[in-house]
A and B are shown apart, each in its own frame.
Chain A
Amino acid sequence: MDNSQYLTVTALTQYLKRKFDVDPYLGHVYLMGEISNFRLRPSHQYFSLKDDKAKISAIMFKSNFSKVKFKPEEGMKVLVKGRISLYEPSGTYQMYVESMEPDGLGALYLALEQLKKKLSQQGIFDLPKRQIPQFPKRIAVITSQSGAVIHDIMTTVKRRYPIVQLVLFPAQVQGDSASGTIVEQLKRINEIGNFDTIIIGRGGGSIEDLWPFNEEIVAQAIVQSQIPIISSVGHETDTTIADMVADLRAATPTAAAELATPVLRDVLMHIQDLRTRLSNAQVKLIQNYHDQVRNYAQNTFLQHPERIYEVYLQKVDNLTSRLNKIVSEQIYNERQSLWDIRGRLNNQSPMSQLHYYDTMVNNYQQRVLNSTNRIINNNRNSFSKEAAALDSLSPLRTLSRGYAIATDDDGKILKQVKDYQVDQTINLKVIDGNVKLITKEISEENNG
């Protein structure tokens, strides 16, 4: 054999590859297997599919893999569709996977569960819910322009609270590009900013129809919104991730509109009711104060002000009598001690001394008197003797011997003849009386 009979590796490989590629069966293979050696790569995915006895390499290009809603995992049973071909550089045949479904559960269902688990781990479901404003002025609605959702919301709002401004931000609500438009509108509303509430809505549908509302970018956009969001996606039994992360979930678009708005008439009635209550409360309050004032006015002390000082009066009385008593006692005591002192003073009186001195004086007086009397008596005796002596010499003795003393009416003693006149009344004093004489004749003798 010469060399020309030998094939090159390339030639053989090309031949084998061609066998795979033109094979009527290997071009469309439906394969069931378990994922093995799977590790998520940035672009194309390389892994194996195996069962108990065999194994086949598999590749899934980025374009195809991006359509896979769930996240393939090691050991996961999957149903794949694709073709078998040969990769020349490594000489391996492999399955070029075009689509992949989880075996058993639907892919979307699985994807939903996976995303729920992931978001739950991130704590997104536990984030605090924003309060839906009670009295919104502007509400943004993200939904299809043509669907029933916007109609229901408009009708409900018109009925309940027609003064709110509804603004529709049209978005696709199904299909691959729906999530993008929803996210875009959410961002736009937040950029515009002057909205109080956002309603995201979509009517009912299959899990595929509702899928955009289960996508992570939508969930993230809802979480990041500064404006509170009410979500109403699908029917009441369908719960999408959008519903779970929204601040409030409504079963239907009508319910969403009801949650977003008050009933204007009720609000007005409430305000009027408040005003009535305010007035009643005020009246009652004033009445209470009034009653209080009246109660106080009827208070015993105000009615009988004297009772305020009755107590004091009594007290004053009491005190007065006590004072009197005390003062009396004191006066009594003082008097008592005055008497004591007076008694003692009396005891100390100089009267006895005076009496003594009096007695002394009397005594002395008596003695002086006695002495004096004696002296007088002595002198009187002497005097009597002298007087007797004198008496013998007295004219009266002469008279007793018969002599008389003649006097005129003036008492002038008439001694000589010339003292006499005829017919003159002469008084003659004799020893035992007086005699009146009238002179008859005067005769003078010359004897001498």
Chain B
Amino acid sequence: MAEEKKSFEDNLKDLEDIVTNLENGNVPLEEAMENFKKGISLSKKLEKTLSDAETTVTKIMQKDGSESTLEDKDNEGNE
């Protein structure tokens, strides 16, 4: 599906547009059903994207181009 290539923002925008469009009414029923299905599928996909994303650890880019984990200095009470 071509939609797979769309960014999270684009998909969210699509979903918002669909909702607004449906809320405004005046949508032919067939189109509304189609949009509704699309909207539900988009919302699930968006939710899944976020839910599936794992919590990340901050990396540090070394001069040689390698990334290593950056330890936060939380314990040092630095602010």
Contact = CB atoms under 8 A, between A and B. Distances in A.
A357 B56 CA distance: 141
Given A135-B9, A163-B55, A278-B40, 16 more contacts: A148-B78, A151-B72, A151-B78, A152-B79, A155-B74, A167-B60, A268-B47, A271-B12, A271-B43, A275-B40, A277-B23, A278-B39, A281-B19, A281-B22, A284-B23, A289-B29
Q: Nearest 7 pairs between A and B by C-beta?
A: A163-B53, A281-B22, A162-B55, A166-B58, A275-B43, A135-B8, A281-B23
Nearest to B52: A163
Given A150-B70, A281-B22, A275 B39 contact: yes
A167 B58 contact: yes
Nearest to A170: B60
B12 A285 contact: no
Contacts of B23: 277, 281, 284
From A188, A268, A278, residue with most partner B Cβ within 10 Å: A278
Contact of A168 (B55, B59, B74): B59
B1 interface: no
Given A151-B78, A268-B47, A282 B36 contact: yes
A267 B61 contact: no
Contacts of A158: 55
Contacts of B47: 268, 271-272
Given A134-B9, A135-B9, A162-B55, A284 B25 contact: yes
A100 interface: no
Interface of A: 133-135, 140, 145, 148, 150-152, 154-155, 157-158, 162-170, 188, 264, 267-268, 271-272, 274-275, 277-279, 281-282, 284-286, 288-289
Nearest to B60: A168
A168 B70 contact: yes
Contacts of A155: 72, 74
From B23, B25, B61, B72, residue with most partner A Cβ within 10 Å: B61
Nearest to B21: A281
A275 B12 CA distance: 11
B43 A285 contact: no
B15 A168 contact: no
Given A162-B55, A268-B47, A278-B36, A169 B15 contact: no
A398 B20 CA distance: 158
Nearest to B51: A268
Main secondary structure of the interface of A (DSSP, over half): helix
Contact of B61 (A168, A278, A288): A168
A150 B46 CA distance: 29
A166 B57 CA distance: 7
Interface in B1-53: 7-9, 12, 15-16, 18-19, 22-23, 25, 27, 29, 32-33, 36, 39-40, 43, 46-47, 50-51, 53
Contact of A274 (B16, B32, B54): B16
Interface of B: 7-9, 12, 15-16, 18-19, 22-23, 25, 27, 29, 32-33, 36, 39-40, 43, 46-47, 50-51, 53-56, 58-61, 67, 70, 72-74, 78-79
A286 B72 contact: no
A169 B73 CA distance: 17
Given A151-B78, A151-B79, A271-B47, A164 B56 contact: yes
B66 to A, nearest CB: 12
A158 B72 CA distance: 11
Contacts of A277: 19, 23
Contacts of A134: 9, 12
Contact of B22 (A133, A135, A148, A285): A285
A288 B22 CA distance: 12
Given A168-B61, A274-B16, A278-B39, A163 B22 contact: no
B74 A151 contact: yes
25 contacts: A134-B9, A135-B7, A135-B12, A140-B61, A151-B73, A163-B50, A163-B53, A165-B58, A166-B56, A166-B58, A167-B60, A168-B60, A168-B61, A168-B70, A264-B50, A267-B50, A271-B43, A275-B40, A277-B23, A278-B36, A278-B39, A278-B40, A281-B19, A282-B32, A285-B29
A284 to B, nearest CB: 7
A278 B58 contact: no
A400 B42 CA distance: 162
B29 A162 contact: no
B43 A278 contact: yes
From A166, A188, A271, residue with most partner B Cβ within 10 Å: A271
A281 B15 CA distance: 13
Contacts of A162: 55-56
A326 to B, nearest CB: 51
A375 B14 CA distance: 138
Contacts of A140: 61
A281 B43 CA distance: 15
